[in-house]
């Protein structure tokens, strides 16, 4: 299965997050899945790639060409797809995914998450989406989404397509169903 993973590229992240995400990458590969990701070598993107590599998993990086000279790309990918821009990158990350895991991240990660979450809710795609709540990072977002549904800003059924957990085993069990 191809699993697209969205996550932070920042190096200013606590080591606990990196360790958790490296373990997730290891489990992804142990289960015979292919990692599809934004191609970064730093932050949680790099951590999940290193974990996948540690277990000899297949890794496909996708990044815009303008990232190439910056030295920010993970060089041990099985394959790398270069795009013209960020929009093309997001489209390919989504297209190639059988399932999606969202790691902790900043505005780029949230942008990617909300796009696929919206597309799922509008039945434009049908992909399981799991949020890895490493170190409780997404607890407040989960509460906010529930509040939005309670207040009528979205249907409660939309939340059924979303799985939030800090347990790596539970995340893969959800995706594999």
pLDDT in tens, 24-73: 999 999 999 999 999 999 999 999 999 999 999 999 999 999 988 778 99
pLDDT of 68: 82
Q: What b/e readout covers 128-145, taking b as 16+ CB neighbours within 10 angstroms?
A: bbbbbbbeebbeeeeeeb
pLDDT at 122: 93
CA distances from 43 to 78, 90, 120, 146, 158 (A): 19, 19, 27, 29, 30
pLDDT digits (tens, 9 = 90+) for 141-153: 999 999 999 999 9
More reliable by pLDDT, 43 or 177 = 43
């Amino acid at each position: 299965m191809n699993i697209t993973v969205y996550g932070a590229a920042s190096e200013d992240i606590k080591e606990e997050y990196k360790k958790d995400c490296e373990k997730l990458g290891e489990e992804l590969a142990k289960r015979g899945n292919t990692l599809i990701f934004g191609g970064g070598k730093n932050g949680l993107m790099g951590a999940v790639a290193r974990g996948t590599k540690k277990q000899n998993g297949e890794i496909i990086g996708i990044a815009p060409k303008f990232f190439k000279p910056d030295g920010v790309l993970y060089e041990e990918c099985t394959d790398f797809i270069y795009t013209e821009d960020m929009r093309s990158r997001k489209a390919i990350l989504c297209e190639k995914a059988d399932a999606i895991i969202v790691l902790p991240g900043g505005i780029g990660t949230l942008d990617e998450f909300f796009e696929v979450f919206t597309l799922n809710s509008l039945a434009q795609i049908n992909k399981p989406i799991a949020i890895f709540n490493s170190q409780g990072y997404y607890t407040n977002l989960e509460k906010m989404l529930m509040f939005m549904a309670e207040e009528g800003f979205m249907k409660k059924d939309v939340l059924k397509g979303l799985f939030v957990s800090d347990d790596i085993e539970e995340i893969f069990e959800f995706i594999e169903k």
